[in-house]
Amino acid sequence: MNLETHATEGPHRRRNALNGDWVTVSPQRAARPWQGEEHPDVAPDASAYNPNCYLCPGNVRVNGEANRAYASPWAFDNDFPAMSVSQSSGRDEAEPSGPGAADLFVSEPASGRCRVLCYSPDHHKTLSVMTSAELEAVVALWCEEVRALRQTHHWVQVFENRGEMMGCSNPHPHGQIWAVDYLPSEARKEDAHQKAWQEKHRSVLLQDYLAAEEAQGERLVLRNAHWLVLVPYWAVWPFETLLLPRRHIDHLDGLNATECLALADTLQGLLRAYDRLFDTPCPYTMGWHGAPGATASAHWQLHAHFYPPLLRSASVRKHMVGYEMLSEQQRDVTPEAAAERLRQALAVSGAEQRI
* Residues with catalytic roles: 174
CB atoms within 10 A of CB 56: 21
Residue 308's contacts (CB-CB under 8 Å, 6 or more residues apart) are 237, 238, 239, 240, 274, 282, 283, 284
| Conformational region of residue 334, where left means phi above 0, alpha means psi within -120 to 50, and beta covers everything else | beta
Q: What is the DSSP secondary structure assignment for residue 60, as one 8-state letter?
A: B
Distances (CA, A) of 28 to 10, 12, 102, 265, 331: 6, 11, 47, 36, 10
Give the pairing type, strands 329-331 and 22-25: parallel
Contact status, residue 247 vs residue 256, Cβ threshold 8 Å: no
Tally of residues, the chain? 355
Q: What distance in Å separates the CA atoms of residue 199 and residue 193, rounded to the nearest whole number?
A: 10
Contact status, residue 45 vs residue 125, Cβ threshold 8 Å: no
Q: What distance in Å separates the CA atoms of residue 30 and residue 6, rounded to the nearest whole number?
A: 14
- Type of residue found at 93: E
Contact status, residue 249 vs residue 227, Cβ threshold 8 Å: no
Virtual torsion, Cα 207, 212, 214, 217, nearest 10 deg = -150
User: How far is C-alpha 316 from the chain's CA centre?
Assistant: 20
Q: What is the DSSP secondary structure assignment for residue 15, as one 8-state letter?
A: E
